[in-house]
């Protein structure tokens, strides 16, 4: 158990993977971060460095100086290099085929590890089934921005062993997060509630009821949300919103969870939110 709380491995150096990596490093852990793309790893290292420096400047980095903490980050393009981590957290894009492929390979190259997925809505039970150790597969769903948001939804697949749930709950606490147990159902709890709200906000704009800015102002001022639903769509990624809606549609109710055509249009045009520099709003400095 102690070892589990000292180092982790992460697959996927996108927004979520790098956020988990930064959080684990700031908590004093050694982190191995894997991605197929060298460029994604370079970008992640730079972003993590910036995030750690900011914490250090504010006097909030207890695990050492930003340089010393960053020195505990190893990056690699080979899943086999993650083999000695007790827990591997997969944070790859939300594609069942991609995640299943990663889990199959991890099952071979890292026979001892607990395999956790940061999937935002896919079935853990199905993912566990592609491995030869379904009792050691579990969901650890983090929230964006990971360094700030305190929740980890811990999703138990039908096959997950009790000790595995307990280990990842302890890991979440070691990362400074609060674990909450949620059943293995499409969208789990938060996304099943939050993403349809974002989708509905897009319909309000699509139908000409209000502008995106008015919708966001209304929800901030009228419902006390920290940012409006469309600014949130830009933050989590419009592609992610559409992917979660499709999973809710497939798993729960065809009609109720139709992705809003406006979201699909933005996605087709490549306007995915902050990560591409444009979504409902424009973010000139962040795209690319």
The helix (H) or strand (E) run that includes residue 112 is none
What number of chain residues touch ligand 3HC (CB under 6 A)?
Answer: 15
Residue with the shortest CB distance to ligand 3HC = 120
CA–CA dist 10, 8 (Å, integer): 7
**Which strands sit side by side in the sheet containing 151-156, from one edge to the other?**
73-76, 30-34, 7-11, 87-90, 114-117, 137-142, 151-156, 178-182
Map 224-254 to HEC letters: CCCCCHHHHHHHHCHHHHHHHHHHHHHHCCC
Q: Which span sits near ligand 3HC by CB under 6 A: 82-90, 143-151, 178-186, 250-258?
A: 143-151
Q: Of residues 233, 240, 267, 272, which one binds ligand 3HC by CB under 6 A?
A: 240
Catalytic residue among 90, 117, 118, 120: 120
Q: Of residues 109, 174, 194, 210, which one binds ligand 3HC by CB under 6 A?
A: 194
**In degrees to the nearest 10, what's the CA dihedral of 213, 219, 221, 227?**
-70
51-90 residues in contact with ligand 3HC (CB under 6 A) are 51
Residue 161 in contact with ligand 3HC, rule: CB under 6 A: no
Q: Of residues 148, 268, 285, 288, which one binds ligand 3HC by CB under 6 A?
A: 148
Bridge partners, residue 30, by sequence: 7
Residue 196 in contact with ligand 3HC, rule: CB under 6 A: no
104's CB contacts (< 8 A; 6+ apart) are 130, 131
Longest dimension (CA), the chain: 56
CA–CA dist 240, 202 (Å, integer): 14
Residue 23 in contact with ligand 3HC, rule: CB under 6 A: no
Catalytic residue among 90, 94, 141, 199: 141
3-state helix, strand and coil shares in percent for the chain, rounded to the nearest 5: 50, 15, 35
Binding track over 248-287 against ligand 3HC, x by CB under 6 A: ----------------------------------------
Residue 145 in contact with ligand 3HC, rule: CB under 6 A: yes
Catalytic residue among 117, 121, 191, 199: 191
Q: Of residues 17, 107, 143, 159, which one binds ligand 3HC by CB under 6 A?
A: 143
Give Cα separations from 234 to 28, 71, 239, 240, 241 (angstroms): 31, 32, 9, 10, 9
Residue 120 in contact with ligand 3HC, rule: CB under 6 A: yes
Establish whether 120 is a catalytic residue: yes
CB closer to ligand 3HC out of 164 and 241: 241
- Binding region for ligand 3HC (CB under 6 A): 51, 120, 143-145, 147-149, 191, 194, 226-227, 232, 236, 240
Residues marked active site are found at 120, 141, 153, 191
């Amino acid at each position: 158990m102690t070892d589990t709380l000292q180092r982790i491995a992460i697959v996927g150096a996108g927004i979520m993977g790098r956020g988990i990596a930064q959080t684990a490093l700031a908590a004093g852990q050694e982190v191995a971060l894997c991605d197929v793309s060298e460029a994604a790893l370079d970008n992640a290292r730079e972003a993590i460095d910036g995030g750690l420096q900011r914490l250090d400047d504010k006097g909030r980095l207890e695990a050492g100086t930003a340089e010393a903490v960053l020195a505990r980050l190893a990056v690699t393009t080979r899943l086999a290099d993650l083999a000695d981590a007790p827990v591997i957290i997969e944070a790859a894009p939300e594609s069942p085929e991609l995640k299943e492929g990663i889990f199959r390979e991890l099952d071979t190259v890292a026979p001892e590890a607990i395999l956790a997925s940061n999937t935002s809505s896919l079935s853990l039970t199905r993912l566990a089934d592609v491995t030869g150790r379904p009792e050691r597969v579990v969901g650890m769903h983090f929230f964006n921005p990971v360094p700030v948001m305190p929740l980890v939804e811990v999703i138990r697949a039908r096959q997950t062993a009790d000790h595995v749930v307990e280990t990842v709950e302890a890991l979440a606490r070691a990362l400074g997060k609060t674990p909450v147990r949620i059943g293995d159902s499409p969208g789990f709890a938060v996304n099943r509630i939050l993403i349809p709200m974002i989708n509905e906000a897009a319909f309000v704009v699509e139908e000409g009821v209000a502008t995106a800015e008015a919708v966001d102002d209304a929800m901030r001022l009228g419902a006390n949300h920290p940012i409006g639903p469309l600014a949130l769509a830009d933050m989590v990624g419009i592609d992610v919103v559409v992917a979660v809606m499709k999973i809710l549609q497939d798993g729960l109710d065809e009609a109720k969870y139709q992705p809003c055509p406006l979201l699909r249009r933005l996605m087709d045009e490549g306007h995915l939110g902050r990560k591409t520099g444009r979504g409902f709003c424009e973010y000139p400095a962040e795209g690319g």
